[in-house]
Each structure stands twice: as C-alpha cells, then as structure tokens.
Structure 1
Amino acid sequence: MASLMPLIQDLLPMILPSSISVTKACDILPPPTPTPPSPPRIKVISRDAVVNKTDKMCASVLIVKPHSSSSVRHHGEQGTCQPIFLPSSYNSSIWYKDQSHLPTQKTKYPPSFQDAIIYAAAGTGVLLSSPKDEGDEPERFPLGQGDFAVVPSWTEHQALNESEVDVLWVIIRSGSSPVEVNLTDWGGAEAKEPLRR
C-alpha cells in the first residue's frame, strides 16, 4: 500500500482536478510610500502571495528598502506527517472497526525541509550566505533584475540592498506555507523577532 501512495498522489489531480487560484498584486504589494516617507520607516516587507493553496509549493514577496537588510535566516523544518500503518493481514471490512493493530505511540516521519528559489523581480540586491570560516565575511551573490538563485534548506542567508531603490524578490519554496527561522547573527540563536537593519 505504501508503494502505491506516490502513484495515488500523481493520479488524484487527474481524477479530481482543482481550480485555479489567483492572488492580485494589489493584495500583496504595499501601496507606494509618500515622499518623504513618514517615520517609522519599514525597511523590510515580506508578504505571502501563494500560501496553503497546494501542499507542494508556496510563494512570497520580499521587498528590501534602500540601504537595508533582512535578518539572517534559514528555511528549516517544513513539518511532519503521521504514517498510516496497515497490518500484513489487512482486511478492509474490519480494518476501520478494529484499530488495535495501530501503534499506541504516534510515530513521525523525518521532517521535510524547505528549499527556495529566489527570482529578482526589480532592483539590484545582494544575497549573502554564511561565511566559510569563522572571521570571514559572508559570501556575496549579487542579484539583478531577472536573476535567479537557489537557497537549500537550512542554508543561512540574508537579503541586502545597498542601492538607492527598492529590491523586490519573489521567493518560491517547497511546502504549503513559508518557513523562516530568523537568527540573531550568522550561526546565532533563533531570534525572538526578525532583526531588520
């Protein structure tokens, strides 16, 4: 039965097709800021775009204002799921009535992790990645409009905008909703709230 699960997951959308879901830009992007901006000025804006619409992927938008950076972060655990146990003597007529064959303790599959693809939609920013050695500077990956980057799960990274205009990145992740673990610094502990500079 377990070997049939991937096949069932592939066939189910063909049997019971879903409908298209659209998220409008006006529901994601903040309104333009007045000139001059009124304090306190928000430096990093993260908005959900496509969340909980499918179990395989999600998308969000990250806007980093000029001369600002996000917190150091990684995309950690995406969650766990409970396995279904079928006894070797599986009999569908009694299986749902008698569940004594099920384990009494809940067992979890190993957590799945969230890889991310970043698409630089506007502006020029820098994707920083954790330093190779202690005392080194973070690795720098400049991203201009139209560039893509892949960030594996658990990879510490930071969005940096050294320019005079907003940086806008579209972030597509595996999993149904985004996971962001904000850290106090490179290799640091989990922050209570995101640090924005």
Structure 2
Amino acid sequence: MASFLPLIQDILPMILPTSVAVTKAADILPPEPETRAIESENGGTTTTGVKVISRHAVVNMTDSMCTSVLVVKPGSSTSVRHHGEQETIIYAVSGKGSLLSQPRGDKEEPERHELGPGDFAFVPAWTEHQISNDSTVDFHLVIVRNGGSPVEVHLTGWGGPEARPKR
C-alpha cells in the first residue's frame, strides 16, 4: 500500500483541481501611515510613525509554503528574530538595506549582508537575523518560508530570550 502513496500524490491534483488564489497589494499594504516631525530639545527633528510593516500575503493555502511582505522604513530595523524550524528565502524588491545575521564564534558584531533590488538571501532554520534600512527610501522585501503559516520569534537581542509583548 505504501508504494501507491507517491502515485496518488501525483494523480490527485489532476483529479481534484484546485483554484488559483490571488492576494492584491491593496489588501496587503496599508496606505502610507501618517508621520509627523517632532522638534527635539537640541534643535533637531525626529519623525514618528510606523517604522516596519509586516503583512502576510499567502498563508494557510498549503502546508509547504507561505509568503509575507516586509517594508522597513528609512533609518529603521526589525527586531532580532528567527523563524523556528522554518527555512526562509528573502527577496529584495526595492530599496537597499542589510540583512544582519547572528555573530559567529567570538565575534560580537553580526555579519552584514547588503541587499538591493533583485537580490535573494537564504536564512536557515533557527538562524537569528535582523533587517536594517540605513537609506533614505523604503526597503521592500518578499519573505518566503516553508510551512503553511509563518513562524516569527522576536528576541530581546542577539542570543537573547524571546521578547514579550508590552501590555
């Protein structure tokens, strides 16, 4: 009976066709958030508003993969994170930024991998990483993971415990 399993997996999609699912950009990314400049005591200004936007694009459609969109605003970074058992492919759509990965050995600084439009990066399971945007334009990324729903574990820092949401 076990020898029929691969054959059934090949034939089943032909017998029971599925439909294509489309997720529109307007349903993923919100309109540009309102930002405002605040004057600081030293005469400079800072901008408030959303710094990182993460939205699921294709989730729970299959057990084998899922996709999200990540936008990192200028001068911003994501938290240090890992995706548990999920392997991850990152595709840089537009803008420029850095993928920082966990320090190796005795190094205290994370490895820095510069990414620009059209670049791909592979992040192995359980690998701590962070996305940083030091440019003046938004950094848009597509994140593809194995597994039907994304796993995202935010950490307090490199090698740190899981960050708990503020209540």
- Sort the TM-score into its range (normalised by shorter chain): 0.7 to 0.9
Q: What is the SS of the residue equivalent to 1:117?
A: strand
Query: Unpaired segments of 5 or more residues in structure 2?
Result: 39-46
- 2:69 counterpart of 1:69: no
> Which residue in the other structure is 2:41 paired with?
none
What is the rounded CA distance, in whole Å, between the counterparts of 1:4 and 1:115 in structure 2? Answer: 29
User: 1:179/1:10 Cα in 2 relative to 1: closer, same or farther (>3 Å)?
Assistant: farther
Q: Check conservation: 1:128, 1:140, Cα contact below 8 A.
A: yes
User: 1:153/1:2 Cα in 2 relative to 1: closer, same or farther (>3 Å)?
Assistant: farther
User: 1:190/1:54 Cα in 2 relative to 1: closer, same or farther (>3 Å)?
Assistant: same
- 2:52 counterpart of 1:44: yes
State the structure with more CA Rg: 1
User: 1:4/1:156 Cα in 2 relative to 1: closer, same or farther (>3 Å)?
Assistant: farther
Q: Which runs of 4+ in 1 moved over 6 A?
A: none
Q: What is the SS of the residue equivalent to 1:140?
A: strand
Higher strand content, 1 or 2: 2
Give, in angstroms, the shift of residue 123 of structure 1: 0.5
Q: Check conservation: 1:182, 1:193, Cα contact below 8 A.
A: no
Matches within 5 A, 1:84-163: 113-163=85-135
What is the rounded CA distance, in whole Å, between the counterparts of 1:147 and 1:130 in structure 2? Answer: 20
What is the rounded CA distance, in whole Å, between the counterparts of 1:187 and 1:117 in structure 2? Answer: 22
TM-score scaled by length of structure 1 = 0.74
> Which residue in the other structure is 2:9 paired with?
9
Give, in angstroms, the shift of residue 41 of structure 1: 1.0
> Which residue in the other structure is 2:18 paired with?
18
- Percent identical pairs in the alignment equals 63
Q: Check conservation: 2:59, 2:67, Cα contact below 8 A.
A: yes
What is the rounded CA distance, in whole Å, between the counterparts of 2:55 and 2:119 in structure 1? Answer: 20
Q: Deviations over 1:67-118 (max 9, x none)?
A: 1110111111xxxxxxxxxxxxxxxxxxxxxxxxxxxxxxxxxxxx311111
Give, in angstroms, the shift of residue 40 of structure 1: 4.8
- 2:87 counterpart of 1:53: no
